[in-house]
């Protein structure tokens, strides 16, 4: 059995999910993995190029990947109250400088965060794309008027003296009435379906293993979050890892399909894939 390349982010939710798998705390049989940790926008770009066999991606980029990849049921981030936040400086007067006129820092063009921002503010076009951990500083320093924050920055922006304009996830939930699909695990269609199903089951077992030992944090989680307080790591895990991470289920799949419908409304020139979406 060949070694499969597997990409995910160094964020606590991903390292929590994959720790048992990549460190062989569970029996992976004859499957082995070559693990690459990268930020999600890099993983999105790599997936568009078909670089990795298995990868975490933003659901916002999924319509561009379905010719090469299929969505696994386990390992993703989807839920309620987990969406990105739009933040600014407290001195910003929205009556003078409305969001549609602002320069907005966004964590990557193909991220779900960008898609959710565009869903809430379709007329806001002045965007600057940055790595997610650069956005707080861009807003605090005035290099951007506002920013869309994800991951652990949800828990740190107030300490930086910044304020929330909108919870973009709440706007999605209130408007669309489904959980928020942030990111999922995709596998190459060229891989045998039986192998992909085995990988999917192993990821589910890895999630279950992590939960049986929680709230203890594995060294693997800590080593990739060295600048983060343990309380923030746990907040991160508690927010982004849930029952949908073990199995998308029907509700999760419906949410992903709804997100893709919104994507095609925003990008009418991109054809809707007719191929199977989920494993």
Give the contacts of 161 (CB within 8 A, at least 6 positions apart).
89, 90, 140
| Element at 57 (helix H, strand E) | strand 54-58
Cis peptide before 215 (omega within 30 of 0): yes
Torsion, CA 3, CA 7, CA 12, CA 18, rounded to 10: -30
Instruction: Give the pairing of strands 146-149 and 85-88.
Output: antiparallel
Catalytic residue (choose from 151, 224, 236, 264): 151
Classify residue 271 by burial, with Cβ atoms within 10 Å: 0-12, 13-18, 19+.
exposed
Dihedral of alpha carbons 153, 157, 158, 159, sign: positive
First to last CA, the chain: 20
151 tagged catalytic: yes
| Long-range contacts of the stretch 228-234 (C-beta < 8 A, 24+) | 228/12, 228/152, 232/152, 232/155, 232/156, 233/12, 233/152, 234/12
- Residue matched to tokens 């790599």: 46
Burial class of residue 109 in the structure, from the number of CB atoms within 10 Å of its CB (0-12 exposed, 13-18 middle, 19+ buried) = middle
- The residues near 110 (Cβ < 8 Å, ≥ 6 apart) are 41, 44, 45, 48, 58, 60, 61, 64
Residue 1 tokens read as 């059995």
**Backbone φ and ψ of 130, nearest 5°:** -135, 160
**Residues marked as catalytic:** 151
């Amino acid at each position: 059995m060949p070694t499969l390349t597997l990409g995910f982010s160094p964020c606590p939710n991903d390292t929590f999910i994959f720790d048992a798998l990549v460190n062989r705390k569970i029996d992976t049989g004859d499957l082995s993995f070559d693990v690459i940790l990268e930020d999600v926008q890099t993983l999105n770009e790599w997936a568009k190029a078909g670089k990795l066999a298995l990868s975490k991606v933003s659901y916002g980029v999924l319509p561009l990947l379905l010719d090469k990849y299929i969505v696994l049921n386990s390992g993703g981030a989807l839920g309620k109250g987990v969406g990105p936040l739009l933040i600014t400086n407290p001195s910003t007067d929205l009556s003078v400088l409305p969001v549609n006129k602002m320069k907005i820092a966004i964590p990557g063009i193909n991220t779900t965060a960008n898609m959710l921002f565009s869903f809430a503010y379709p007329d806001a076009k002045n965007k600057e794309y940055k790595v997610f951990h650069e956005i707080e500083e861009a807003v605090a320093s005035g290099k951007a008027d506002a920013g869309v924050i994800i991951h652990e920055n949800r828990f740190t922006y107030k300490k930086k003296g910044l304020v929330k304009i909108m919870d973009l996830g709440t706007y999605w939930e209130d408007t669309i009435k489904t959980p928020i699909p942030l990111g999922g695990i995709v596998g190459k269609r060229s891989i045998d379906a039986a192998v992909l199903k085995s990988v999917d089951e192993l990821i589910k077992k890895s999630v279950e293993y992590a939960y049986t030992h929680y709230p203890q944090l594995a060294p693997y989680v800590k080593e990739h979050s060295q600048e983060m307080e343990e309380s923030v790591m746990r907040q991160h895990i508690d927010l982004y890892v849930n029952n949908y991470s073990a199995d998308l289920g029907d509700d999760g799949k419906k949410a992903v399909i709804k997100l893709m419908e919104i994507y095609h409304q925003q990008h009418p020139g991109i054809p809707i894939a007719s191929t199977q979406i989920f494993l």
